Amino acid sequence: MLTGPAPIIGRARTLRKEMSLPEVLLWRELRKRPAGLKFRRQHPAGPFVLDFACLSSRVAIEIDGAAHDPMSAQFRDEGRDEWLANQGFSTLRIAARDVLSNLEGVLQLVISQCAAGQPLHHAAPRRGPPPRTGEV
């Protein structure tokens, strides 16, 4: 599972209490588990805190507001996206203004991206004791 060091986990806890309006609006919908998908908010991931994550689909969802406009922030975002890609995650970036003006459309986009990344089947959990040495 994707997680981060203790300071990042603490930062994630703080950010959950200080979510922006677009994040709050989207979280109200994502917490209902649309299309059976489970989302996490302000999820620690290595040196970063993701706005939202669908771990089963390996999709990180970032809500980009005005703080993401400067060139330095864009380079930082590219570095984050590259780090996540190396962990097997794709990043879906959504403008905060889009969440405010078209929440339903954003929700459908998130669902379609995450559903596309869903595995076709889940392995059944193993029951009973582990196999003996040499057995499979």
The domain limits of the chain are: 6-116
Do 62 and 54 contact (CB within 8 A), yes or no? no
Helix (H, G, I), strand (E, B) or coil at 90: strand
Helix (H, G, I), strand (E, B) or coil at 59: strand
To 5 degrees, how large is the angle CA 94–CA 25–CA 49? 55
52 or 64, which is more confident?
A: 52
Mean pLDDT of 116-123: 54
Q: How far apart are CA 87 and CA 130, in angstroms?
A: 28
pTM over cut 0.85: no
Q: What is the pLDDT of residue 29?
A: 97
| Residue 2 binned pLDDT confidence (cut-offs 50, 70, 90) | confident
Q: What is the pLDDT of residue 122?
A: 41
Q: 3-49: per-residue pLDDT in tens?
A: 888 888 888 888 889 999 999 999 999 999 999 999 999 999 999 99
Domain 6-116 has CATH 3.40.960.10: yes
Q: What is the pLDDT of residue 67?
A: 57
To 5 degrees, how large is the angle CA 119–CA 103–CA 29? 55
